[in-house]
Structure formats: structure tokens, C-alpha cells
Structure 1
């Protein structure tokens, strides 16, 4: 892995972690406005995506990055649905699709790991 790609991967993971933990502050620093309302869960899903991008592009494999993204989004969407604050018509179907994808990606990871031994 090139040093530039490694640095970019680490920077994306750091930004993603910041968006997960303190999305409003990140919004203030990047956009000059604090995030509020529906922008908070959108920023957190974006944070999950940036972490997965960093995993896929430098810290592990693309398959691991997609598994991390789909699994984390499944959990976060289920959390949002269970709290009831945000619950659009497609929230639970999206959570179920990501759960199914997580299972498929997890099986692919296990198959890849077993075949490389």
C-alpha cells in the first residue's frame, strides 16, 4: 500500500469516527453551522461510510470494508427505528436489506479466510 493511500485511509477513518461521535461539532468546523435534526443521523451514516472506505482502501480488504459498512449501518438503522425518533417508511426495510447483505458478506469473508489457509 502506498504511503499516500495509507494516509488517506487513516484520515477518512478519523473523520468518520468524528462524524459518529460529535457530528454537530464536525458540521460547525466544516460548514460553519451546527448540525441538527435529521442531519445528525445522516452525518452518522456518512461517518460509517467513511470508516468503511478507509477500511476498504487501506486498512483491510474491500470485502471487509463492505462488511463493516453494512453491519454498522444495520445496527444504526435498527437503533434509530427502536428509539422511534426517526422512522420513515423505508427505515426497517433498509435495515433488513443491510442485515441480509451483512450475512452474505460475512459468509464471503469466512469463505475467503478458509480458502486462504
Structure 2
């Protein structure tokens, strides 16, 4: 039944990619409406989370799948939220603290992945 989880992981990753690259298209084709600019940003974050979820079913590696997925999510979330802040769009009071928190978590998870590889 591994093919089932692999197939679902591919579907989840594809949905995540569509949400990241074209959230407006997802809104139009799946939800039948237009997404606002904040809605598109939230859609992209959801897409990043879905890519992280898809990584839990990725072929075996030295890192635990959940750790690898959380690392991927935190790296991508850091990059996207940082991009939003640098571009000056959709900057709320907690944007930069969220960037720092995701970056910290990414560093800690990367260190854990390195520890798992050496063990």
C-alpha cells in the first residue's frame, strides 16, 4: 500500500505548488471566487504547509520524515514571510517576530537532522 501514500503525497505536493505559484487560480477554479491579497498570502502559506506535509511520505532518508517536513516548512515560511516584509506588503505587528521564530526553528531542526545523520 506504499503506492497509496506516495500518490497522496504527490497530490498534496501538487496542491501546495498551485497554492504557492497561483493562489488566485486555485481560488477561481476550486472555490469559484477571487482571493484578496491577504487571502493569496495565506494561500501561499497553506501551500508551504502542504509541501511540508508531502515530505513526510518522501522516500527514505537519514532524517526522520516529520523532522524533514517541519524543516522544509520552516525554511520556506521564513523565506516567504521575509519576502513579504522586505517588499513592504502585508506587514503586521508580528511579521518579523514570526520570521525570526521560523528561522530559529529551522536552525534547530537542521541541527537535529545533522545529528540523526551522524548517528
TM-score (norm 1): 0.93
Q: Which stretches in structure 1 are left out of the alignment for 5+ residues?
A: none
Number of the residue aligned with 2:97:
93
What is the Cα-based RMSD across aligned positions, in Å?
1.0
Number of the residue aligned with 1:27:
27
Q: Count the aligned residue pairs.
A: 114
Shift of 1:4: 1.4
C-alpha separation in 1, matches of 2:15 and 2:35: 15
C-alpha separation in 2, matches of 1:78 and 1:94: 9
1:12 aligns with 2:12: yes
SS of corresponding position for 1:87: coil
Shift of 1:49: 0.4
C-alpha separation in 2, matches of 1:6 and 1:37: 33
Cα distance per residue 1:39-95 (max 9 Å; x no partner): 011000000000100001x11511110000001000111110111111000000011
Shift of 1:2: 1.7
Q: Which stretches in structure 2 are left out of the alignment for 5+ residues?
A: 60-64
C-alpha separation in 1, matches of 2:95 and 2:43: 16
